[in-house]
Amino acid sequence: MTAKIIDGKQIAEEMKAEFREQVAKLKKKGVTPGLAVILVGDDPASQSYVTSKERDCEEVGIYSDDNRLPAETTQKELIALIEEKNKDPKIHGILVQLPLPKHLNESEVLLAINPDKDVDGFHPINTGKMVSGEKAFLPCTPHGIVQLLIRNKVTIEGADVVIVGRSNLVGKPLANMLIQKKPNANATVTVCHTHTKNLAAHTKRADILVAAVGRVNTITADMVKDGVVVIDVGVNRIDDSSKKSGYRLVGDVDFDAVKEKASLITPVPGGVGPMTRTMLLYNTIEAAKAFVGR
């Protein structure tokens, strides 16, 4: 079997077309969804993420409010800016780009965001609601993974899902989403990490295997069963002298070998990454809909 490659870029484009229509409807009601993006410091990777997020907003008609602060910004100044955005009726979503410079207290900053504007889904109130199955802003990467599965008609209900990686960003929220007693969930989920005794024994059982580790070749062909659906979240740089940059990006999965056994597989890049950005737009539009009473 050779896997069908899941095209995250194409699904993201399809979703953006849906968002443009939703934004147009909101504008007719007099509301333009607004996203405040706050970046502290001059980390080049963070700057490029923020620029892409702002470009995505423009593409679908979301107002993007750019706030780039110097690296020496104090905790008090940052929280004051968040409080200003919490009150601003033009702003429906607030995103603080992580990681923050070391002198800033990340959890205190995230707590300062109004949970109704927490479009990254990192506020403990949204985490709590997600865990108990209530409506909440869902973190963008795991939510994007669920959308990839749904839009490729993968049966999640009853599936054995194995997630390798238990970060607060990906593994834990994804496990929580997939065990909910609701449609497009109801999976049996196993979460693996560095203390897992026999990783392959778990991954071999998976109907859906998600690798969110950050290590090249964590998943090899002998670790998966025929027909598995593979979602590769990892983004790793490896040397490549044929590239101008001197490197290329690969995932956590040995893509060329595993695709010969899988039924569906995401590439890196072009799989999960575009969906993460897209789900931020989704959350911002949902926040604006809630603001106008839907």
In whole angstroms, what is the distance from residue 78 CA to residue 98 CA?
Answer: 13
Confirm if 271 and 255 have CB atoms less than 8 A apart.
Answer: no
Sole window of 23-31, 49-57, 58-66, 231-239 interacting with ligand NAP (rule: CB under 6 A): 231-239
- Pick the closer one to ligand NAP by CB: 39 or 145: 145
Site for ligand NAP in 157-216 (CB under 6 A): 164-167, 169-171, 192-196, 199, 212-215
Q: Out of 22, 65, 85, 97, which one is annotated catalytic?
A: 97
Q: For residue 119, what are its two tokens?
A: 């479009």
Contact characters 269-288, ligand NAP, x per CB under 6 A: ---xx--x------------
120 is an active site residue? yes
Q: Which of 234, 265, 267, 288 binds ligand NAP (CB under 6 A)?
A: 234
For 48, residues 6+ apart whose C-beta sits below 8 A from its C-beta are none
**Residues touching ligand NAP, count (CB under 6 A):** 26
Site for ligand NAP in 106-125 (CB under 6 A): none
- Pick the closer one to ligand NAP by CB: 176 or 218: 218
Q: For residue 145, what is the enclosing H or E element?
A: helix 140-151
Q: For residue 162, what is the enclosing H or E element?
A: strand 160-164
The DSSP symbol for 39 reads: E
Residue in the structure block whose two tokens are 């700057």: 47
- Pick the closer one to ligand NAP by CB: 93 or 142: 142
**Is 141 an interacting residue with respect to ligand NAP (CB under 6 A)?**
yes
What is the DSSP pairing of strand 247-250 with strand 93-96?
Answer: unpaired
Q: For residue 124, what is the enclosing H or E element?
A: helix 124-131
State the angle between helix axes of 171-178 and 140-151 in degrees (0 to 180), rounded to the nearest 10: 50
Q: Out of 56, 120, 207, 232, which one is annotated catalytic?
A: 120
Q: What is the Cβ-side half-sphere exposure of residue 211, based on CA atoms within 13 angstroms?
A: 32
Q: How far is the CB of 66 from ligand NAP (least distance, A)?
A: 21
Catalytic residues: 53, 97, 120
Interface residue list for ligand NAP (CB under 6 A): 141, 164-167, 169-171, 192-196, 199, 212-215, 218, 233-236, 272-273, 276
